Amino acid sequence: MALAHPGFLLAGAAVNLTLVTPEKAIKLAANDFFRQLLMEDGMQQNLKMEMLAGCGAGMCQVVVTCPMEMLKIQLQDAGRLVHRQGSASAPSSSRSYTTRSAPTHKRPSATLIAWELLRTRGLSGLYKGLGATLLRDIPFSIIYFPLFANLNNLGFNERTGKASFAHSFMSGCVAGSIAAVTVTPLDVLKTRIQTLKKGLGEDSYSGITDCTRKIWIQEGPSALMKGAGCRALVIAPLFGIAQGVYFLGIGERILKCFE
pLDDT over 90 (residue 24)? no
pLDDT at 79 over 70: no
Total residue length of the chain = 259
Q: What CA–CA distance (Å, rounded) separates 212 from 209?
A: 5
Q: How far apart are CA 149 and CA 259, in angstroms?
A: 30
The band of 112, judged by pLDDT with boundaries at 50, 70 and 90, is confident
Could you say which DSSP state residue 158 is in? T
The CA distance from 2 to 81, in Å, is 11
Distance (Å, whole) CA 167 – CA 170:
5
Mean predicted lDDT score pLDDT of the chain:
80
Hey, which residues does 162 pair with through a beta bridge? 157
- Closest among 191, 8, 195 to 86, alpha carbons compared: 8
Terminus-to-terminus CA distance in the chain, angstroms? 59
Confidence grade of residue 100 (pLDDT, cut at 50, 70, 90) = very low
- Is 237 a residue whose pLDDT tops 50? yes
| Section 125-146 average pLDDT | 93
Q: What's the one-letter identity of residue 88?
A: A
| Third-level CATH fold of 20-75+110-257 | Mitochondrial carrier fold (1.50.40)
DSSP 168-206: HHHHHHHHHHHHHHHTHHHHHHHHHHH--SPPTT----S
- pTM (2 d.p.): 0.78
What are the residue boundaries of the structural domains of the chain, listed by start?
20-75+110-257
Spatial distance between the Cα atoms of 68 and 194, rounded to a whole number of angstroms: 11
What percent helix, strand, coil does the chain show, rounded to 5? 70, 0, 25
pLDDT tier for residue 96 given thresholds of 50, 70 and 90: very low
Other C-beta atoms closer than 10 Å to the C-beta of 16 total 18
Closest CA to 209 of 132, 134, 124, 138: 132
